[in-house]
Structure 1
Amino acid sequence: MADRLVRATAADGGIRVVGAITTRLTEEARRRHKLSYVATAALGRTMAGGLLLASSMKRPESRVNIQIKGNGPLGGIVVDAGLDGTVRGYLGNPAIELPPNSRGKLDVGGAVGRDGYLYVVRDVGYGYPYSSTVELVSGEIGDDLTHYLVTSEQTPSALVLGVFVDKQGVQAAGGLLLQVLPKAATDETLVELLESRLSSLSGFTPLLRESRTLPNIFDRLLGDLGLNILPETQLLQFDCGCSFDRVLGALKMFGQAELQDMIEQDGGAEAKCEFCGQMYHANPDHLHGLIRDLQDNRGQLSQKAGKIYRN
């Protein structure tokens, strides 16, 4: 089944629910970054969370950037997700592995760390991005993003995230975001009902492994509350905008002397994109071309400066 995102409403528009299946893109990230089991779960949960947060934005170019910095051995997590359904991400120590936690689950909280901060930046496509910082509450990602939504956006929310990975790779991944909008937030009975139903779920990935579809999961939670599943289904994918041209542009910033040293000492240059793990190699001819560009640009600037001085 292709990775996808589905939206729905209930209670006459008072409840918003979004579900995402991210199995394939999480497997893509696992393969690209050579992730351990617990690292796969941590990055996979954060990528699904990023896509769910971005789903409420308006402009097509809108994006959400999530950074998690805990005191655990996993190191920081960085995820970039867009309203267009693309996501990418990486973490500090992809090979770290920990024993299962007391419930026999992957110890994501222990790997991330319970002490630290969650940073969320929303780029709405114009003006200055909106940023917010909250303390971690568990390191389990879902709890921390829920805390962010309630604290920073002041919206009663529940976020369920999951990744199931075994020796064959990622078998199920995704998440569910449920929000009580202002028109229904004062209905304490409704809020308590939703909390009870979410707590009764055994998890998100077990439902996917039972071949439950997103509409089926929505119906189980909200079928008696006027559920309205929106017709549009959005495809999701792991996607990175890096390119060789961008790498060359970054190398040019080192200047002529550094580029010449790369040619003489290393026979070229090598760069790695942190988000997707792609390696790029620039040979001496590429670097000589950058040096010529810098020399040409410097000559053009000198000519312009001379004209200004004479005038």
Structure 2
Amino acid sequence: MADQLVRATAADGGIRAVGVITTRLAEEARQRHSLSYVATAALGRTMSAGLLLASSMKRAESRVNIRIRGNGPLGGLMVDAGLDGTVRGYVDNPSIELPPNPKGKLDVGGAVGQQGYLYVVRDVGYGYPYSSTTELVTGEIGEDITNYLVQSEQTPSALVLGVFVGAQGVTASGGLLLQVMPKAARDEALVQTLESRVAALSGFTPLLQAGKTLPQMFEELMGDMGLEVLPERQLLQFHCGCSFDRVLGALKLLGEDELQDMIEKDDGAEATCHFCGEVYQANSSELEQLISELQTEASQ
């Protein structure tokens, strides 16, 4: 099944629902960063969450950045997701591995840590980005994002995230986000019903592995609430906008002396993109060209 995002509404527009399947992009992230099992689960969940959060934005260039910094051995992670369906991300310590938690599942909470902070930045495409910080609740990602939505955006929300990774890589990944809009938030019975149904789910990946589509998942949760699944299917992909030209621009900022030192000691420079793992190499001739440009700019 292709990586995709599907939107739906229920209760006469009082409930907003979004679902994503991110299996292939999570697997690409695993391969690009040589992620361990638990690091794959942590980053995969956060990439799904980033796409879900970005889906409510309006302008095509809108993006959401999620940064998590906990006291666990994973160190931290960073995800950048856009309304256009692109996402990228990385973790500080990709090779860290932990034994399963008491439930027999990957110990994402132990890897991230239960003490720390979740930082969310929303760039709407103009003006200053909106940023918010909340404390971590469990380190399991889903609960932490839900806590952010309640505290910072004051929106009753239910979020389910999942990544199943085995010896063959990621075989299921994605999530569901259900939010009660302001006009329905006072209907306590509606909120409680929705919360109880989401709580009863066995998780996201078991549904995906059972062959359930996103519309079928919505039907099981809200089929009796006036569900309307929107026809558009947005394709999702792991994508990074890094390029060799951008690397040269960054190297140029180091200045003439540093560039000359690289030429003399290393006969060039090598840079690796944190987000996608792409390695770029600049030879001495290219660095000399940068020095020449700096000297020209200084003389003007």
TM-score (normalizing by structure 1): 0.96
Task: List per-residue Cα deviations over 1:12-36 (Å, max 9, x = no partner).
Answer: 0000000000000000000000000
- 2:98 paired residue number: 98
Letter in 2 for 1:250: A
- 1:70 paired residue number: 70
- 1:261 paired residue number: 261
Letter in 1 for 2:287: L
Letter in 2 for 1:173: S
Distance, in Å, in 2 between the alignment partners of 1:113 and 1:257 is 41
**Residue aligned with 2:176, SS:** strand
Distance, in Å, in 2 between the alignment partners of 1:148 and 1:255 is 41
Which runs of structure 2 are paired with 1:273-288 in the superposition (5 Å)?
273-288=273-288
Aligned positions, number: 300
Letter in 2 for 1:10: A
Q: CA deviation at 1:258?
A: 1.0
**Residue aligned with 1:233, SS:** strand
* Deviating 4+ runs (over 3 angstroms): none
1:203 aligns to 2:203 (yes or no): yes
Distance, in Å, in 1 between the alignment partners of 2:229 and 2:215 is 7
Distance, in Å, in 2 between the alignment partners of 1:206 and 1:221 is 15
- 2:236 paired residue number: 236
Q: CA deviation at 1:299?
A: 1.6
Letter in 1 for 2:290: L
* CA-atom RMSD in angstroms: 0.5
Distance, in Å, in 2 between the alignment partners of 1:70 and 1:272 is 24
Distance, in Å, in 2 between the alignment partners of 1:158 and 1:122 is 20
Unaligned segments of structure 1, at least 5 residues: 301-311
- 1:247 paired residue number: 247
Distance, in Å, in 2 between the alignment partners of 1:152 and 1:254 is 38
Distance, in Å, in 2 between the alignment partners of 1:9 and 1:110 is 35
Task: List per-residue Cα deviations over 1:106-140 (Å, max 9, x = no partner).
Answer: 00000000000000000000000000000000000
TM-score (normalizing by structure 2): 0.99
Letter in 2 for 1:88: R
Letter in 2 for 1:245: D
**Residue aligned with 2:20, SS:** strand
- 2:84 paired residue number: 84
Task: List per-residue Cα deviations over 1:199-255 (Å, max 9, x = no partner).
Answer: 111000000001100000000000111000011110000000000000000000111
Task: List per-residue Cα deviations over 1:60-83 (Å, max 9, x = no partner).
Answer: 000000000000000111000000
**Residue aligned with 1:46, SS:** helix
**Residue aligned with 2:218, SS:** helix
- 2:5 paired residue number: 5
Letter in 2 for 1:104: G
Letter in 2 for 1:70: G
**Residue aligned with 1:61, SS:** coil
| Higher Cα Rg, which structure | 1
- 1:298 paired residue number: 298
Q: Tell me whether 254-263 or 99-108 shows the greater mean CA deviation.
A: 254-263
Letter in 1 for 2:143: D
Distance, in Å, in 1 between the alignment partners of 2:223 and 2:286 is 60
- 2:48 paired residue number: 48
1:191 aligns to 2:191 (yes or no): yes
Letter in 2 for 1:180: V
1:23 aligns to 2:6 (yes or no): no
Distance, in Å, in 2 between the alignment partners of 1:262 and 1:110 is 40
Q: CA deviation at 1:157?
A: 0.2
- 1:125 paired residue number: 125
- 1:172 paired residue number: 172
- 1:215 paired residue number: 215
Distance, in Å, in 2 between the alignment partners of 1:295 and 1:131 is 39
**Residue aligned with 2:137, SS:** coil
Q: CA deviation at 1:257?
A: 1.2
Distance, in Å, in 2 between the alignment partners of 1:256 and 1:129 is 33
Q: CA deviation at 1:295?
A: 1.2
Distance, in Å, in 1 between the alignment partners of 2:30 and 2:220 is 31
- 1:305 paired residue number: none
Distance, in Å, in 2 between the alignment partners of 1:71 and 1:222 is 38
